[in-house]
Amino acid sequence: MLRYLPGPVGGVLMMLLLIVNTLFWATPLLIFAVFKLISPIRSLRDFFSRASAWCGQYWAAVNTKLGDALLPTRWTIRGVDRLNMNGQYLVSSNHQSWNDIYVLMKAFDRRAPFFKFFIKQELIWVPVLGLCWWALDYPFMKRYSSKYLAKHPEMRGKDFETTRKVCERYQNIPVTILNFLEGTRFTRVKHADTRSPYTHLLKPKSGGFALALRALGENVNSLLDVTIVYPGGSKGFWDFMCCRVPEVIVEVRQITVPHAMYVGDYENDKQFRKTFQTWIGDMWADKDKRIGELLAEAGHG
């Protein structure tokens, strides 16, 4: 195990192994993506989407196997036994560090379809990974400032339109769509600046999530409410690779989404928007309480 090596040496070795694995799976993934791009028939495009997702699934599986073999992190994962690889799920999760992506890979490894999440448009230029995310149909979102929208009101709602079109492409294939409702990673500074009413969470942003629900419709098997806890404190990805994250707890709770949440108009119906935000707020309050309980159980309350 890497814990017997000096931290930076183990970290470099682990990072190199993850890079090699990424390059290995990126090749067939991009080939399938090209075939999907030029296929004139919807059924063929769906086939190549499934093939691309398969590559993503096993890229993630090898990543987690490497971690299991070489990193000393203790894992507690609950609530994933009844998931279905052929299902469609929406996932909401708290967000603390880049480690969360690896944690979710580990939690859902070949138990649910390979997940996709909303990405800032600028990240398409990340070497190799940007092309892989594009090939996997990850939705790239361009963020506009309030000042920009004031000058260009015609751009208002573009992110919602992008979300709708992408989710429509997912309707005929197994998929897990991940949404970090906080919109950014939790820090104490952000917590104070945003005056969050929660102890362990930032305020949730529910607009994109509401649109994804409406676009996918009631084919979605369930909402997966994921709670990630680092009893030793949240650390960066480099610290994780250097064996400095001793324990991770993941709880997955399946929630049946009320029918009304699929059919309301979040953008234009103020009453529905308030109802939806209240529903998300209640779920977030339950999550905040549960994080405190899990930390206390682990001796860090």
Q: Is residue 40 part of a domain?
A: no
CA 255, 258, 259, 260 torsion-angle sign: negative
Q: Is residue 39 part of a domain?
A: no
Q: Is residue 6 part of a domain?
A: no
Q: How far is CA 205 from CA 94, 183, 201, 281, in A?
A: 12, 7, 12, 10
Q: pTM of this prediction?
A: 0.88
> How much is the average pLDDT of 169-179?
81
Q: Is residue 22 part of a domain?
A: no
Q: Is residue 195 part of a domain?
A: yes
Q: Is residue 268 part of a domain?
A: yes
Q: What is the pLDDT of residues 111-152, one digit of tens each?
A: 998 888 777 777 778 888 887 888 887 877 766 555 666 676
Q: Is residue 12 part of a domain?
A: no
Q: What is the pLDDT of residues 251-282, one digit of tens each?
A: 999 988 888 888 888 878 899 999 999 999 99
Q: Which CATH number does the domain housing residue 168 bear?
A: 3.40.1130
pLDDT value, residue 33: 85
Q: Is residue 3 part of a domain?
A: no
User: Please, which pLDDT band fits residue 160 given cuts at 50, 70 and 90?
Assistant: low
Q: What range does the domain containing 267 cover?
A: 74-297
pLDDT value, residue 150: 66
Structural domains counted in the chain: 1
Strands 222-229 and 247-255 come out as antiparallel
Which of 107, 172, 181, 98 has the alpha carbon at shortest distance from 137?
A: 172
The CB density around residue 115, as the number of other CB atoms within 10 Å, is 24
Tell me if residue 98 falls in helix, strand or coil: coil
